[in-house]
Every structure is written in structure tokens, then in C-alpha cells.
């Protein structure tokens, strides 16, 4: 028997809504919920990874004009090898937009810097696996640590300097 989720908000008794609000009203509970959602909810199944002998970046298909405030968050990219074993790459958002171009330019997405490589062999710096990245199939990517920074959304290029009085 499935539970089917919660009924519409207007049909939930007030005492239950009060208990939910009370529980998630604390910072610790909000952080726990955020961590659970981050660990369990994939954001997508494609990313554009560009690697070179000196490093790599990944462009996530999160449109900059909508998701720019997430641009300094931490993400994980979960890959599958040819032998079906899995690799997770953890990276931090660079706070920069970049073209999402797996085959051709499509839109501006979020740029992240892959840092850690976790596999059944252990955890290492991703730089020792740059040659392998191209041969992996991305399964999904997730938000691991939310950092909202609205300042990444500001376009101040060309704006005249101003002094507040």
C-alpha cells in the first residue's frame, strides 16, 4: 500500500500544520531538511564537462538567469564506468556563468570546479583522473551544499562607480 504523499494544504488539519511549522522553524531542522533534500533529489542527468591536462570545469544545465544565486553552491556529479561501477565527483560553484555546449551552444549555465573523486578505490583529487572523465557516463548531478549568493547575479560590468552618502 502506497502512501501517496500529503493531501492539499487546505485539507491538512491546523494542528498538523502547526507541528510541521514548529519542527522546521528551527535552524537545525531546516539544515537537516536541506541536507536530506540535497542527498536525495537529483537536479539533472546531463552536464558538460571540459577537461584538459591542467584541469577541468563542468557546466551544469541550470540556466544562469534563473539559478545564478546557486552559483557558489557545492554539487556532486555521479558517473558510471563501462564496468557499471560508479564514481562521484564533488565540486564547488565558481560563481560564474558559462555556455552549456555539449554539442552546440544552447544557453548560459552554472560553472563548477570539480575537486574530489570518490570511487570504490577511495577518495582522491580529481586531477589524477582527468583522462578518465571523458569515458564516463553521467548518471545525475545533485546539489550537496546550498550557498545562496544573490551578488553573483549582479551585472556591474560597465556601471559607473558610485559613492554612497
- Average pLDDT, 10 consecutive residues per value, the chain (165 residues): 57 76 72 66 84 82 90 94 94 93 84 94 92 88 84 63 46
Report the number of secondary-structure helices (H) and strands (E) in the chain: 4, 8
pLDDT score of 165: 43
Does pTM top 0.75 for this prediction? Answer: no
pLDDT score of 5: 56
pLDDT score of 12: 74
pLDDT score of 1: 40
pLDDT score of 36: 67
Torsion of CA 142, 99, 102, 65, to 10 degrees: 50
Looking at residue 121, the DSSP 8-state letter turns out to be: T
Helical (H) or strand (E) element with 21: helix 14-23
Amino acid at each position: 500500500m502506497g502512501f501517496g504523499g500529503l493531501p492539499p494544504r487546505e485539507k491538512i488539519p491546523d494542528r498538523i500544520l502547526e507541528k510541521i511549522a514548529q519542527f522546521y522553524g528551527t535552524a537545525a531542522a531546516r539544515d537537516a531538511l536541506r541536507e536530506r533534500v540535497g542527498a536525495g533529489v537529483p537536479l539533472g542527468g546531463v552536464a558538460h564537462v571540459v577537461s584538459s591536462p591542467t584541469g577541468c570545469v563542468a557546466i551544469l544545465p541550470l540556466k544562469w538567469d534563473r539559478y545564478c544565486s546557486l552559483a557558489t553552491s557545492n554539487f556532486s556529479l555521479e558517473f558510471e564506468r563501462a564496468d557499471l561501477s560508479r564514481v562521484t565527483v564533488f565540486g564547488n560553484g565558481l560563481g560564474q556563468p558559462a555556455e552549456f555546449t555539449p554539442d552546440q551552444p544552447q544557453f548560459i549555465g552554472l560553472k563548477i570546479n570539480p575537486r574530489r573523486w570518490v570511487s570504490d578505490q577511495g577518495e582522491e583529487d580529481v586531477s589524477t583522473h582527468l583522462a578518465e572523465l571523458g569515458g564516463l557516463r553521467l548518471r545525475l548531478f545533485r546539489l550537496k551544499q546550498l550557498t545562496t549568493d544573490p551578488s553573483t547575479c549582479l551585472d556591474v560590468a560597465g556601471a559607473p562607480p558610485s559613492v554612497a552618502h
